A = this chain, B = another copy of it.
Amino acid sequence: MDRRLTQRGEERRRQLLAYAAARFADNGYHPTSVAEIVEGLGVGKGVFYWYFDSKEELLRAILAEGQLDLRRRQRAAIVDATSPMERIERGIRASIEWSLEERVFFRLFQFAATDDRFAESLRKGEQVAVRDAATHVREAMEAGQIADGDPELLAHAMLGVSTHFVQLAHRGLLQATDEVVDTAVTFCLYGVLGAR
């Protein structure tokens, strides 16, 4: 759905996006009804369908927004790093920190990855981030700083570690102290260092 929105309309749209994202993250996508969303906002149901074609499209819009935001953060973290290894480390740290802060987005990413209807929406963004990280890994290999291996696979391994730690933190099974984040980062760095 694309409509010409006034500023008022733009604000309403963002309000719907934010509130729905929070409800989806807390209560789950499927168990959260459109009725619940509009009631929570104190508006009529028609408002929802003025801005979105369907509940499904709404989640897709939320996911896209989150991916854009994460990507911004990753780029900003890397921009003034001078070596490949530094870019790798900063990229990991930025991803972990963003995911810890943006609990709502992170939880929705996790859910979306488990549902075929939405997993595809995630794929492209994930691929971009992984390819980017893989580039730095490849550069480090070419500079002889780390052992040879498949850069993309290694990037995925690092993503797996980061994601799992953040998930533990959000599930309350782990306090995300600096030491914990350092452990995750160090694990990744040593893992990528000695690969194959």
Contact surface of A with B, Cβ cutoff 8 Å:
28, 30-31, 107, 110-111, 113-117, 119, 123, 149-150, 153-154, 156-157, 159-165, 167-168, 171, 173-174, 180, 182-184, 186-196
Contacts and interface: CB of A to CB of B under 8 A. Distances in A.
B186 A188 contact: no
A116 B167 CA distance: 13
A175 to B, nearest CB: 11
A154 B173 contact: no
A60 to B, nearest CB: 16
Given A111-B114, A190-B190, A196-B182, A160 B156 contact: no
B195 A187 contact: yes
Given A110-B113, A161-B157, A164-B159, A150 B195 contact: no
29 contacts: A28-B30, A28-B115, A30-B30, A107-B114, A113-B171, A114-B114, A150-B183, A153-B183, A154-B183, A156-B168, A157-B161, A157-B164, A159-B164, A160-B160, A160-B161, A160-B162, A160-B164, A160-B165, A161-B191, A183-B195, A186-B194, A186-B195, A186-B196, A187-B195, A188-B191, A190-B193, A190-B195, A193-B194, A194-B194
Contacts of A153: 180, 183-184
Nearest to A150: B183
Given A157-B161, A186-B196, 7 more contacts: A28-B116, A28-B117, A110-B113, A119-B171, A159-B164, A163-B164, A190-B191
Contacts of A189: 194
Nearest to A193: B190
